């Protein structure tokens, strides 16, 4: 599947191992879930969760085409899903999408400040719920394809303010290729912008649950 470089680096940040149980919390259309399955050598289990039945169909279509065995599609709300515990969780959160305007220029006319506000509220709900599904010692990656602090740094700051005894931010550089190290700040958080380098605007933070 064709993905922007920034999107591919998000999957590498999660670094799932063969045999692990992984949740892709907002999975459609399945590009990152498929990449995670490849990293895991198609061994283990990935729950590809999405609230939209039509988009679930797109995930199934892609995993059939790619011949992937370990992805199980589930229709459900990532802000409420609570079926089991996971070794790794990818929260590719619904966002304003302002980091991908170069590929979706119509967003300049269809998005507003209200878009950011509404998405931020949902992001916080999803983050809070999914963090509770992570096993001790496990890791999750919170990612968006937007550059707005309200949906990125502010969401993580609010989460860590109340959960710092349980969770810690881990430097993303440990999981990325050396060439991607400049994309990680001194705070350990991954950020890209459409103007430099030439890839989508993405935000990603890797957080581990303490034992």
Catalytically active residues, by annotation: 145
**Pairs from 190-195 (Cβ < 8 Å, separation ≥ 24):** 190/9, 190/10, 190/13, 191/147, 192/6, 192/9, 192/99, 193/99, 193/147, 194/99, 194/100, 194/101, 194/102
Residue 171: name the closest of 154, 149, 189 by CA: 189
Tokens of 144: 């968006």
Residue 15 zone, left/alpha/beta (φ > 0; ψ -120 to 50; rest): left
Report in angstroms the alpha-carbon separations of 77 from 6, 33, 123, 157.
Answer: 25, 17, 12, 23
Q: Is the alpha carbon torsion for 96, 97, 101, 107 positive or negative? A: negative
């Amino acid at each position: 599947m064709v993905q922007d470089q920034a999107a591919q680096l998000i999957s590498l940040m999660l670094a799932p191992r063969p045999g692990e149980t992984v949740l892709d919390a907002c999975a459609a259309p399945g590009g990152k879930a498929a990449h995670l399955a490849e990293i895991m050598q198609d061994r283990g289990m990935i729950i590809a969760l999405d609230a939209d039945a039509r988009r679930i169909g797109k995930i199934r279509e892609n995993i059939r085409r790619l011949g992937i065995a370990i992805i199980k599609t589930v229709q459900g709300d990532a802000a409420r899903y609570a079926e089991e515990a996971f070794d790794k969780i990818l929260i590719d959160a619904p966002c304003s999408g302002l980091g991908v305007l170069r590929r979706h220029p119509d967003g300049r006319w269809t998005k507003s400040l209200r878009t950011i506000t509404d998405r931020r509220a949902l992001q916080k709900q999803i983050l809070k719920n999914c963090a509770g599904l992570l096993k001790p010692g496990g890791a999750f990656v919170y990612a968006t394809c937007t550059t707005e602090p309200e949906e990125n740094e502010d969401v993580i700051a609010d989460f860590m303010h109340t959960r710092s005894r349980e969770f810690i931010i881990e430097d993303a550089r440990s999981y990325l290729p050396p060439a991607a190290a400049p994309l990680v700040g001194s705070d350990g958080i991954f950020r890209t912008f459409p103007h430099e380098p030439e890839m989508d605007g993405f935000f990603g933070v890797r957080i581990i649950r303490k034992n």
